[in-house]
A = this chain, B = another copy of it.
Amino acid sequence: MNILLASTSTLYGGKYLEYIKSEIAELFTGIDEIVFIPFARPGGVSHEDYTHKVKEFFAKLNIKVKGLHEFDNPKSALYDAKGFFTGGGNTFLLVKTLHELDLMFALKENVQNGKPYLGTSAGSNIGGLNMKTTNDMPIVYPPSFECMGLVPFNLNPHYLDPNPDLKHNGETRETRIQEFLTQNDTKVVGLREGNWIRKIGNRITVEGKETTRIFENDKEPYEIMSGTEL
């Protein structure tokens, strides 16, 4: 497999995908066209507008982009494609749409067969075992929370450390993930913004400028350095 799962598409003050441009170029080496999956619709933008934004970025890498919503038969489009990018937004909306169109397994099969896959945020969540560690609001009801399981764990993108100054009683991210672990025996990778997971063949590493926080049942959460194998 040849996979890049990023915590976020955009760093604070930066431009769309810019911080990870060279890694994306390497991921899609030799590929001149990819299929973009716009179903997460961040902020409610249309599939068209979202795909346009992605086309602008990939033009700089001389890679053409087609939105999956543009195809009459999206499942065939996945089997015909050379590579994939799933953008961020709302994970519930993304997973619901993929399941209802019967595309989750088709996408998984194509990525398992070696086609490069890029995900950011919600698009990274669906690379995990299931979407039970998303931060998103459940604005729609998906027929299942199961995802592709391209990696043998769950992701928490945009992982955020507790803010000691916040005078607010809502749960911290760490508390939420610990609640997940009371109900599931699944490793969770807390991926801070600026970090990503890279899988080449069977080797999975965490990359980026920050350390990464790992949560497992019956263990204290711990930090791993960039480059560590998962």
Q: Which residues does A use to contact B, with CB under 8 Å?
A: 8-13, 41-44, 89-90, 92-93, 131-141, 144-145, 158, 160, 167-171, 175-184, 193
One of B138, B175, B177 near A145 (C-beta < 8 A): B138
> A183–B43 Cα gap in the complex (Å)?
11
Q: How many copies does the complex hold?
A: 2
Contact for A44 among B138, B141, B178, CB less than 8 A: B178
Q: Which residues of B contact A182 (CB under 8 A)?
A: 41, 44, 139
- Closest approach, in angstroms, between the C-beta of A136 and any C-beta of chain B? 7
Q: Assess whether A178 is in contact with B43, with CB atoms less than 8 Å apart.
A: yes
CA of A181 to CA of B137 in the docked complex: distance in angstroms?
Answer: 11
- Tell me the nearest residue of chain B to A145, going by C-beta: B141
Docked-complex contact B167 and A160, CB < 8 angstroms: no
Q: Residue of B at shortest CB range from A89?
A: B179
The complex places the Cα of A46 from the Cα of B139 at a distance, in Å, of 29
**A177 and B137 within 8 A (CB):** yes
- Known interface pairs A178-B44, A183-B93; A170-B158 also in contact (CB < 8 Å): yes
Please name 30 pairs of A and B residues whose Cβ atoms are closer than 8 Å in the assembled complex, sorted by A.
Answer: A8-B170, A9-B169, A10-B169, A12-B167, A41-B179, A41-B182, A42-B179, A43-B171, A43-B178, A43-B179, A44-B178, A44-B181, A44-B182, A89-B179, A90-B179, A93-B179, A93-B183, A131-B138, A132-B140, A133-B137, A135-B170, A137-B179, A138-B138, A138-B145, A139-B184, A140-B183, A158-B169, A158-B170, A160-B170, A168-B193
